[in-house]
Amino acid sequence: MFRVSTLRLLGLSFIGCVVAARAFAAPVLVHATPAAGQHVPAGNVAIKLGYNSVIDPFRARLLLLGPSGVPQLLAASPSDDEQQGLATTVALTPGHYVLHWRMRAPGGTPAEGNVPFDVDPAGPVNAVAPAGGK
């Protein structure tokens, strides 16, 4: 009887440790828009980041490094009710950009990474030629 109780207690302790470790684990980026290496047209660019766990949006930091060399701190808000993502929109000119992100799960270890992408010039506007060929 003592042996069964001890094994049960050890099993419950192990499950508790696994759940606690998962709750305090660092978030991992699972989806980014624009994706790393992606080319997007100039103008208003939607930036969305999705993580494998709940993040603390108040401790999130998005820093955009662009062709001007001046870092730009981006304000972002949660993109879903589960607080597993952030979203923002920013007006961008052509050039190479690197989005540096730093996230933390509530009470967890911070994680950070980079998402490099390129902004291409907007395509030409289709002009309608005037009638009569002039």
Give mean pLDDT, residues 56-69: 92
The size of the chain, in residues, is 134
Give mean pLDDT, residues 105-124: 88
Q: State yes or no: pLDDT of 17 exceeds 60.
A: no
Q: State yes or no: pLDDT of 58 exceeds 60.
A: yes
H or E element that contains 90: strand 85-92
pTM: 0.72
The alpha carbon of 72 is separated from its chain's Cα centroid by a whole number of angstroms, namely 16
Q: Is the backbone peptide bond immediately before 78 cis, with ω within 30 degrees of 0?
A: no
CA distance 78 to 58: 10
Nearest to 13 by CA among 25, 21, 24: 21
Q: How many CB atoms lie within 10 A of CB 125?
A: 5
